[in-house]
Amino acid sequence: MSSPNNGPSSLHIALMLASGLVLLFLATGDAGAANPKIPRLANGKPDFSGIWQTTSAADYDLEPHSNRKDAPPGAGIVEGHYLPYLPAALEQKKKNFAARDTLDPALKGYTLGVPRGIYYPEPFQIFQRKQDLTLVHQFGHSVRTIHTDETDHPKDPYDWWLGDSRAHWEGDTLVVDVKHFNDKTWFDRAGNYHSDALHVVEKWAFIDANTVEYKATVEDPKVFSKPWNLSVILHRHREKDFQLIEDYRFTLDYDDAYPPKPNKP
């Protein structure tokens, strides 16, 4: 129906707009729909079970750096490139860097912590159930549980090496809130560090069936002036019979005795 001046009526305009929206929807696809190509649990949630590893060199240094004797060059994985240290904390970071050959907690076999364990250049395996995910890291065989049973952090907790992880789902993205850390781990081999006020929010999302984008927002008011973000890509190991190998770091102090040697008391 035309208006008295032969222009489009309000009804026609509404129909044209609706048609345009339908065409746009068909052209772009439904961004909010679940990706049917990724593995899922029986309850429909994405299933991250498998062995994963990054090809990133982030563990050498989260920030951009040139080649040096103990690290290949890297572009860094931090949004904005550099960590927003408070002045006194930056001085401590410089001291850590100068003594990194001996002070890096990983050299002592200590648990890597969060998020370092995710981008450390050794594989880790995820076992997933409806109520939780269990992460087993090859490095030191550290075991971390991410709870997805809608429970909250304990109210009067200890501080832990790997913190306390509680997660929820935002569509197909697993969002993990991690806090209650001790201050004994570093973020990398370059001396970037944190205090016991560390708080990490992780986001895990499939890109395709064998690739995961891992993002983390890190805040620590004792060390940094504001929260900062990092991201890495994780790849699923698909080699036949691939598995984690034994790497019990707590035996470092007992190298002479472990594994037991024949003909030696």
Q: Please state the rounded mean pLDDT for residues 7-11.
A: 50
Q: What is the pLDDT of residue 255?
A: 62
Q: How many helices (H) and strands (E) does the chain have?
A: 4, 9
Q: Please state the rounded mean pLDDT for residues 87-111.
A: 95
pLDDT at 261 over 90: no
pLDDT digits (tens, 9 = 90+) for 119-164: 999 999 999 999 999 999 999 889 999 999 999 999 988 889 999 9
Q: What is the pLDDT of residue 10?
A: 53
**Positive or negative CA dihedral for 177, 187, 245, 124?**
positive
**The amino acid at 78:** V
Please indicate, yes or no, whether the overall pTM of this predicted structure exceeds 0.85.
no
Exposure b/e, 63-80, CB count within 10 A at least 16 = b: bebeeeeebeebebbbee
